[in-house]
Amino acid sequence: MTTTRTIPVAHLVISLIVLVLTPVANVQACENSSVSVEGAVVRVFTSRSLVQDADCRWTAWIERSLGSVADISGRFPVDRVTIFLDRSRGSQPVAYGWVRRNNPPEVHLRVFPAATLDDLLDDWRGYHEFAHLLLPFVGNRDIWFAEGLASYYQHFLQARAGVIDSEQSWQRLVAGFQRGLDDPAGRGESLDSLSPKMWSERAFRRVYWTGAAFFLRVDYRLRLASDGEHTLDTTLAAFQDCCMSGDGSRANRYKSRWDAEAMVAELGKLSLSEIWQEEYQRTIEQLAEPDFGEAGEYLGLRIQSGQIVMDTDRRYRDRRKSLALGEGFDPVPAESGQAALIDELEEVSGFLVDRGPAP
Ligand SMILES: [Zn+2]
């Protein structure tokens, strides 16, 4: 079944702008202070300390970041969003941020006043917060699900925005998975047990990146099982169509109360239910640590002595690129591709290649 997306007429109207700057004397305001993204009305409020936007860097950064999220389905996931920028105390371009699920939802970001546009675009935190709007909140108990989705996408969105290339996005993603593996907090606990205690145990990295690996496995398996017809991108797009807006009986469920189990059931209905269910059960029951499953072999990722290694062979880089950029998919399953390569090696070398798992 091909997933088709109809974009309501209202959404075809390119969004509005609204940038509200606190007026300050002797400061040249940005001349084109609009933020335009497909399908959403965007309002941006900046604190007085950030008013010097003469080079439009705040608006340019937000527009490009929101645009990368909108590219996942063709339009931004929520009809309206309000963004609040305030200065941070440190020199990190984007110090931190959070989302408030108000109506409309709010994204709050703390930024370094002297950060350049390049600095802001190169920081993953803005993309991460905006990616949270792809789905309704699933509750604090299932925080792994919300943070896993945003963490899985944050660097891919940088690649889709043209800020870094796909392989760089994978290097950053893998560095995140490594931090999750190395996190001493929560080691040895199941995700089901650890996720509700993430704050008290300060097991942020372990929980975030275990969740991100769940979405990696789902994305890989959907693509493989459907010959590329279903992906995580297409599933999120279908969810937007059915449940985030519009007039149907399932519409506007953005404001409903969800948990991860209900969300998995809904996303499964829109793509391949068995895959979502299997990966969900496996993720919550097993130890909280990033696990690539069969996706690791297919994508050239393996763990050696606790370190994640990426195979730089072109075949693997191309496969990784298709996930990063949301492109087409080479549907050769990992095992058969690997077996063919091993047979070829044996023929050429005359030596038996070790078929066992990587040490
Ligand atoms: Zn987050």
The Å distance, Cα 269 to ligand 1 centre, comes to 25
According to the model, what pLDDT value does residue 338 have?
44
Above 60 in pLDDT, residue 347?
A: no
The Å distance, Cα 28 to ligand 1 centre, comes to 34
Q: Which helix (H) or strand (E) holds 84?
A: strand 80-87
Worst-scoring range by mean pLDDT, 19-23, 26-30, 49-53, 294-298? 19-23
Q: What is the pLDDT of residues 230-250, one digit of tens each?
A: 999 999 999 999 888 755 555
According to the model, what pLDDT value does residue 350 have?
32
The Å distance, Cα 342 to ligand 1 centre, comes to 41
The Å distance, Cα 151 to ligand 1 centre, comes to 7
Q: Per-residue confidence at 25, pLDDT binned at 50, 70, 90? A: very low
The Å distance, Cα 130 to ligand 1 centre, comes to 9
Edge-first strand order for the sheet with 94-100 is 19-20, 41-46, 80-87, 106-111, 94-100
The Å distance, Cα 144 to ligand 1 centre, comes to 9
What is the rounded average pLDDT of the residues 30-53? Answer: 79
Worst-scoring range by mean pLDDT, 40-44, 87-91, 206-210, 347-351? 347-351
The Å distance, Cα 150 to ligand 1 centre, comes to 6
The number of CA neighbours under 13 Å toward the Cβ of 209 is 24
The Å distance, Cα 157 to ligand 1 centre, comes to 14
22 or 134, greater pLDDT:
134
Q: Which helix (H) or strand (E) holds 239?
A: helix 232-239
According to the model, what pLDDT value does residue 261 have?
96
Q: Per-residue confidence at 329, pLDDT binned at 50, 70, 90? A: confident
Mean pLDDT of the chain: 84
According to the model, what pLDDT value does residue 265 have?
96
Domain definitions of the chain by residue range:
10-134, 137-329
Name 354's Cβ contacts closer than 8 Å, sequence gap at least 6.
Answer: none
Above 90 in pLDDT, residue 7?
A: no
What is the rounded average pLDDT of the residues 176-199? Answer: 97
The Å distance, Cα 99 to ligand 1 centre, comes to 8
pTM of the model as a whole: 0.84
The Å distance, Cα 129 to ligand 1 centre, comes to 6
According to the model, what pLDDT value does residue 56 have?
85
The Å distance, Cα 263 to ligand 1 centre, comes to 17
The Å distance, Cα 26 to ligand 1 centre, comes to 37
Burial class of residue 278 in the structure, from the number of CB atoms within 10 Å of its CB (0-12 exposed, 13-18 middle, 19+ buried): middle
Q: What is the pLDDT of residues 87-98, one digit of tens each?
A: 998 999 999 999
Q: What is the pLDDT of residues 262-318, one digit of tens each?
A: 999 999 999 999 999 999 999 999 999 999 999 999 999 999 999 999 999 999 999
The Å distance, Cα 329 to ligand 1 centre, comes to 28
Quickly count: other Cβ atoms within 10 Å of residue 315's Cβ.
14
The Å distance, Cα 125 to ligand 1 centre, comes to 8
The Å distance, Cα 128 to ligand 1 centre, comes to 6
Q: Per-residue confidence at 251, pLDDT binned at 50, 70, 90? A: low
- Residue 81 tokens, joined: 């969003």
The Å distance, Cα 149 to ligand 1 centre, comes to 9
The Å distance, Cα 126 to ligand 1 centre, comes to 10
Q: What is the pLDDT of residues 118-171, one digit of tens each?
A: 999 999 999 999 999 999 999 999 999 999 999 999 999 999 999 999 999 999
According to the model, what pLDDT value does residue 55 have?
74
The Å distance, Cα 318 to ligand 1 centre, comes to 28
Q: How far apart are CA 331 and CA 313, in angstroms?
A: 17
The Å distance, Cα 140 to ligand 1 centre, comes to 12
Q: How far apart are CA 293 and CA 67, in angstroms?
A: 31
The Å distance, Cα 47 to ligand 1 centre, comes to 22
Identify residues whose C-beta is under 5 A from ligand 1, the ion.
Answer: 147, 150
Strands 106-111 and 94-100: antiparallel
Q: Per-residue confidence at 53, pLDDT binned at 50, 70, 90? A: low
The Å distance, Cα 98 to ligand 1 centre, comes to 7
Tell me, rounded to whole angstroms, the distance of Cα 192 from its chain centroid.
21
In the chain, % of residues over pLDDT 70: 78
- Residue 91 tokens, joined: 């020199």
The Å distance, Cα 131 to ligand 1 centre, comes to 8
Q: Of the spans 50-64, 280-294, 333-347, which averages the highest pLDDT?
A: 280-294
The Å distance, Cα 145 to ligand 1 centre, comes to 10
Q: Per-residue confidence at 30, pLDDT binned at 50, 70, 90? A: low
In the chain, % of residues over pLDDT 90: 69
Give the per-residue SS3 of 30-58: CCCCCCCEECEEEEEEECHHHCCCCCCHH
According to the model, what pLDDT value does residue 331 have?
62
